[in-house]
Amino acid sequence: MTPRATRAAAQVKRSLSPAPAAPTPKRTPKRTPVKREPSASPAKVKAEPIVTPRKRKAGSASPLTDIEDEKPTPKSAKSPATLRDRKLNNHTKFSSSSIFPTFLHPTPEECKLAHSILSRLHGERIRPAQVVASKERAGCGDSPSVLDALVRTILSQNTSDANSTRAKLSMDAAYGGSDEWEAIVAGGQPKLEEAIRCGGLSAIKSKVILNILDQAKEKYGSYTLDSLHEASTEDAMAELLALKGVGPKTASCVLLFCLQRDDFAVDTHVQRITGLLGWHPKSSNREQTYAHLNERIPAEDKYGLHILFVLHGKVCAECKAGGRNAGQCELRRAFKGGVGVKEEEGEVKAEEVKGEELQEMEDDKKGIVQDVSIVS
Give tens-digit pLDDT for 320-347. 988 888 899 999 999 975 443 443 333 3
CATH of residue 245: 1.10.340.30
Confidence label for 140 from pLDDT (cuts 50, 70 and 90): confident
According to the model, what pLDDT value does residue 14 have? 53
**Is residue 348 predicted with pLDDT exceeding 80?**
no
Is the dihedral angle over the CA atoms 300, 305, 306, 311 positive or is it negative? Answer: positive
According to the model, what pLDDT value does residue 236 have? 97
The Cα-based distances of 265 to 139, 201, 273, 288, 297 in angstroms read: 14, 22, 13, 12, 11
Confidence label for 84 from pLDDT (cuts 50, 70 and 90): low
Question: What's the mean pLDDT in 59-68?
Answer: 28
Please tell me which residue in 249, 302, 314, 320 is annotated as part of the active site. Answer: 249
Cβ(303)–Cβ(127) below 8 Å: yes
138: exposed, middle or buried (C-beta count within 10 Å: 0-12, 13-18, 19+)?
A: buried
In a domain, 346, yes or no: no
The structural domain count of the chain equals: 1
Q: What is the pLDDT of residues 293-315, one digit of tens each?
A: 999 999 999 999 999 999 999 99
User: Model pTM?
Assistant: 0.68
Among 131-135, 248-252, 350-354, which stretch is predicted with the lowest mean pLDDT? 350-354
Question: What's the mean pLDDT in 356-370?
Answer: 38
In a domain, 173, yes or no: yes
**Is residue 12 predicted with pLDDT exceeding 90?**
no
Provide the 3-class DSSP secondary structure of residue 189.
helix
Size of the chain in residues: 376
According to the model, what pLDDT value does residue 135 have? 87
In a domain, 22, yes or no: no
30 given a catalytic annotation: no
**Is residue 72 predicted with pLDDT exceeding 70?**
no
Q: Which residue has the higher pLDDT, 22 or 179?
A: 179
In a domain, 293, yes or no: no
In a domain, 338, yes or no: no
Q: What is the pLDDT of residues 213-224, one digit of tens each?
A: 999 999 999 999
Among 14-18, 98-102, 200-204, 246-250, which stretch is predicted with the lowest mean pLDDT? 14-18
The range of the structural domain enclosing residue 150 comes to 146-258
CA-only gyration radius of the chain, Å: 34
Among 13-22, 35-44, 164-173, 360-369, which stretch is predicted with the lowest mean pLDDT? 360-369
In a domain, 172, yes or no: yes
Cβ(335)–Cβ(110) below 8 Å: yes
In a domain, 108, yes or no: no
In a domain, 206, yes or no: yes
Q: Which residue has the higher pLDDT, 87 or 209?
A: 209
According to the model, what pLDDT value does residue 6 have? 53
